[in-house]
Amino acid sequence: MQLPCGTFSTTYEFDKAIIKTRAHWIVLALAITLAFAFPTFSHPYLIHVVNFVFISIIAALGLNILSGCAGQISIGHSAFMAVGGYTSAVITYTLGASFWLALPCAIVAAGLVGLIFGLPSLRLKGFYLLLSTLAAQFIIVYIVAHLDITGGLAGIDVPYAQLGNIVFNTDKSFYYIILVVLILATFCARNLVRSKVGRAFIAVRDNDLVAEVMGVSLFRYKLLAFFIGCCYAGAAGSLWAHWHGYVCPEQFSLMMSVWLLGYIIIGGMGTTVGPFLGTILVLGLTEGLSTLVTGLGTTYPHLLDIIAPLKDLIFGIMLALFLILEPRGLAHRWYMMKSWYSLFPFSY
Amino acid sequence: MAAGKTDEAMLRVEELSLRFGGVQAVLSLSFEVRQGEILALIGPNGAGKTCVLNCINGFYRPQKGNIYFEGQDITSFPPHKIAEQSIGRTFQNIQLYSGMSVLDNLMAGRHNHMKENILTAMIHFGWVHQEEVKHRKQVEDIIDFLEIEAERYKPVGMLPYGTRKKVDLGRALALEPKLLLLDEPMAGMNVEEKEDIARYILDIVEEREGTVLLVEHDMGVVMDIADRVIALDFGELIGEGSPAEIKANPSVIEAYLGKVE
């Protein structure tokens, strides 16, 4: 717990506050203003990328609560996004309701399906649980690919969100919806970890038998973790569906689940800032390398055969290097930076 | 001390039997813990002392026998229900939540007393702040009691052994236990640290109106602070009484020192 020089906790209220100094408030206000102003000055393609990054962060925040905080590792998280996406799609397309009703329904539906697939966690731990959540990935995607109501393999069109006369049918307009959901999701996730529930989750992760002796019902809190984690996935899935304007089973692949886990591991499991850093790093790298390869490819067309495969190689090496040099995740580096800044100009 | 020492049984264990396959861990064990006393449970290694605690905690299901706490049969309760009855526990090999700070470990111990639910926790408005602060004050009392103020924000993994033992005790106290089960609280400590822990145990009984069931190998400590002692060997009760009586008990001497041929 580092405070800036000259700042001291004098009350417990102050001690538990997340944002403690005026400088923090200013930085936060600036960051949010910048985020809202972003589409007005940005390149359209960049907005598209940022939309994808933000939706991934929402899903990763949920997975972080489930796997990072509560320690229930899941490799079927994109399947719960599928539940959210399809629920939202069916409610808006088939039943004709609005997006604003479909979003909460999608969140709850994904949470409830998460409860079912969370049941094995009462008996299984670690890698065994990982395998049982893999089942969720295949079962859910198989079901949506074979039901009539979900449009089978072709998927279904999803109407765009509408508010009065405004139709959110572009990257730029939908960006604002994603941003608001992201801010709310972050707010809730950060508050959760400093509450009784968050502490119970971490207790279950660190030492489940003792947690039970201390009064934490494993049944309740493991399932609660699944519910919350999958609610986040549901929100991400619903946003995803309405952003693209359609859903199909292929969008919710196993690779995506693996990457969501990758984001939180690279970012730092169990920290709220981790999903942000991990997702931005991985997707930023992917996009950066793609842009680089395309650029090089147009300048030196004869080298494209060599450069294109190199992209994946470099990507892999960079990720491996990150994990070796920062095994506790980028969040650890972030905290070190923060404490350096707090104590500046002294070294400790 | 308001409640004071009484002869009233707080915890009553009746005919407890626990078997793992061919190993009889506990056999027809009956004893009671009285309100406001320090009861020591002693015995050689493998005598079944920790097994008894694990049965009380609900980790193990005994094949036979019942455990009553304040008149209620808690034998079949799951561990978290037993915690709700205000039975706290520390562990032989420290079992802290390694990812949390000392403060959060203790706050996690107050789980049963906090009223937040998932929604209020996420939104974290007005009364949730007050609730957190209220419990923080209680936790600070315990931090003060155990003299670990300086370690408050440190992750428990970084702390030395003796301090971690204190945190383990503090987390059990955060539960506001009526009955505190201490499993070798002094194992691996030097004399000064043992004296500290002994003082805490006496203070818990006198100032916090606690009742303590103590498993301990250091006979000096047991004889000094325990009101009554029960001795186990191979899961069976071999002696019960005051420290002086236990010292003179031939079966206890035999269990510890062997038989004279």
Mean pLDDT value across residues B80-92: 92
B55/B116 same-domain check: no
Integer Cα distance of B101 and B159 in angstroms:
10
Determine whether the interchain pair A197/B137 forms a contact, defined as Cβ–Cβ distance below 8 Å. Answer: no
Tally of domains within chain B = 2
Integer Cα distance of A62 and A231 in angstroms:
7
Q: Is B198 contained in some domain? A: yes
Integer Cα distance of B32 and B28 in angstroms:
13
Please report the DSSP string for B11-34 in residue order: EEEEEEEEEETTEEEEEEEEEEEE
Q: In chain A, at which residue ranges do the beta strands (DSSP E only) sit? A: 156-157, 161-163, 166-168, 246-247
Q: Is B2 contained in some domain? A: no
Integer Cα distance of A329 and A326 in angstroms:
5
B72/B183 same-domain check: yes
Structure confidence at residue A297 (pLDDT) = 81
Highest mean pLDDT of the ranges A40-44, A151-155, A334-338:
A40-44
pLDDT tens profile A166-177: 889 889 999 999
Closest chain B CA to residue A225: B118
* Alpha-carbon distance B27 to nearest alpha carbon in chain A (angstroms): 24
Mean pLDDT value across residues A137-146: 93
Cβ burial of B109 (10 Å; 0-12, 13-18, 19+) is buried
Q: By the 8 A CB rule, do B190 and B140 touch?
A: no
B184/B251 same-domain check: yes
B33/B81 same-domain check: yes
Calculate the average pLDDT of chain B.
90
Determine whether the interchain pair A196/B57 forms a contact, defined as Cβ–Cβ distance below 8 Å. Answer: no
Look at residues B259, B170, B222, B249 and name the one whose alpha carbon lies nearest to residue B49. Answer: B222
pLDDT at B2 over 50: no
Q: Is B62 contained in some domain? A: yes
Set of chain B residues whose Cβ sits within 8 Å of the Cβ of A213: 57, 59, 79-80, 82-83, 89
B181/B82 same-domain check: yes
- Count Cβ atoms below 10 Å from residue B259 Cβ, excluding itself: 8
pLDDT at B6 over 90: no
Set of chain A residues whose Cβ sits within 8 Å of the Cβ of B82: 213
Confidence of residue B1 (pLDDT cuts 50, 70, 90): very low
B142/B20 same-domain check: no
- Count Cβ atoms below 10 Å from residue A19 Cβ, excluding itself: 10
**Pair of tokens at residue B213:** 């069931």
* Alpha-carbon distance A330 to nearest alpha carbon in chain B (angstroms): 17
Set of chain A residues whose Cβ sits within 8 Å of the Cβ of B101: 1
Determine whether the interchain pair A212/B118 forms a contact, defined as Cβ–Cβ distance below 8 Å. Answer: no
Look at residues B115, B57, B11 and name the one whose alpha carbon lies nearest to residue A212. Answer: B57
- CATH, residue B72: 3.40.50.300
Determine whether the interchain pair A206/B117 forms a contact, defined as Cβ–Cβ distance below 8 Å. Answer: no
Determine whether the interchain pair B124/A195 forms a contact, defined as Cβ–Cβ distance below 8 Å. Answer: yes
Percent of chain B with pLDDT over 90: 66
B151/B81 same-domain check: no
Structure confidence at residue A348 (pLDDT) = 65
Characterise B43 by phi-psi region: left (phi > 0), alpha (psi -120 to 50), beta (else).
left
pLDDT at B5 over 80: no
Integer Cα distance of A104 and A87 in angstroms:
10
B112/B226 same-domain check: no
Give the residue from A199, A207, A217, A328 with the most B CB atoms within 10 Å of its CB, the best one to mutate.
A199
Integer Cα distance of B166 and B94 in angstroms:
10
Structure confidence at residue B7 (pLDDT) = 66
pLDDT tens profile A148-195: 888 888 889 898 888 888 889 889 999 999 999 999 999 999 999 989
Integer Cα distance of B39 and A82 in angstroms:
58
Question: Which of B57, B100, B101 comes nearest A213 by C-beta?
Answer: B57
Residues on A contacting B at a C-beta cutoff of 8 Å: 1, 12-13, 15-16, 187-189, 191-192, 194-200, 202-203, 205-207, 209-218, 224, 228, 270
Q: Is B171 contained in some domain? A: no
Determine whether the interchain pair A16/B129 forms a contact, defined as Cβ–Cβ distance below 8 Å. Answer: yes
Integer Cα distance of A74 and A55 in angstroms:
18
B252/B124 same-domain check: no
B125/B181 same-domain check: no
Q: Is B172 contained in some domain? A: no
B197/B249 same-domain check: yes
Look at residues A47, A28, A65, A49 and name the one whose alpha carbon lies nearest to residue A280. Answer: A49
Set of chain A residues whose Cβ sits within 8 Å of the Cβ of B97: 202-203, 206-207, 210-211
Q: In chain B, at which residue ranges do the beta strands (DSSP E only) sit? A: 9-20, 23-34, 38-42, 64-69, 72-73, 87-89, 179-183, 211-215, 228-233, 236-241
Calculate the average pLDDT of chain A.
90
Q: Is B3 contained in some domain? A: no
Structure confidence at residue A67 (pLDDT) = 94
Range of the domain at B127: 96-160
Mean pLDDT value across residues B241-248: 91
Determine whether the interchain pair A196/B100 forms a contact, defined as Cβ–Cβ distance below 8 Å. Answer: no
**Pair of tokens at residue A263:** 């984001």
Residues, chain A, total? Answer: 348
Q: Rounded to an integer, what is the distance from CA A169 to the centroid of its chain?
A: 23
Look at residues B111, B133, B160 and tell me which one is the last residue of a structural domain: B160
Q: By the 8 A CB rule, do B164 and B148 touch?
A: no
Q: Is B166 contained in some domain? A: no
- Pairing state between β A161-163 and A166-168: antiparallel
Look at residues B109, B130, B160 and tell me which one is the last residue of a structural domain: B160
* Alpha-carbon distance A239 to nearest alpha carbon in chain B (angstroms): 21
Q: By the 8 A CB rule, do B170 and B100 touch?
A: no
Look at residues B160, B190, B212 and tell me which one is the last residue of a structural domain: B160
Q: Is B247 contained in some domain? A: yes
Q: By the 8 A CB rule, do A267 and A284 touch?
A: no
Mean pLDDT value across residues A191-205: 93
The answer for residues whose C-beta is within 8 angstroms of residue B261's C-beta and 6 or more apart is none
Q: By the 8 A CB rule, do B174 and B107 touch?
A: yes
pLDDT at A1 over 90: no
Determine whether the interchain pair A13/B129 forms a contact, defined as Cβ–Cβ distance below 8 Å. Answer: yes
Set of chain B residues whose Cβ sits within 8 Å of the Cβ of A209: 59, 79, 95
Determine whether the interchain pair A206/B97 forms a contact, defined as Cβ–Cβ distance below 8 Å. Answer: yes
Give the residue from A202, A208, A213 with the most B CB atoms within 10 Å of its CB, the best one to mutate.
A213
**Pair of tokens at residue B238:** 């071999």
Cβ burial of A146 (10 Å; 0-12, 13-18, 19+) is exposed
Q: By the 8 A CB rule, do A93 and A63 touch?
A: no
Look at residues B162, B158, B151 and name the one whose alpha carbon lies nearest to residue B190. Answer: B162
Question: Which of A202, A209, A213 comes nearest B83 by C-beta?
Answer: A213
pTM: 0.91
pLDDT at A109 over 70: yes
pLDDT tens profile A256-267: 999 999 999 999
Taking CA atoms, B66 is separated from A102, A305, B30, B35, in Å, by 53, 76, 9, 19
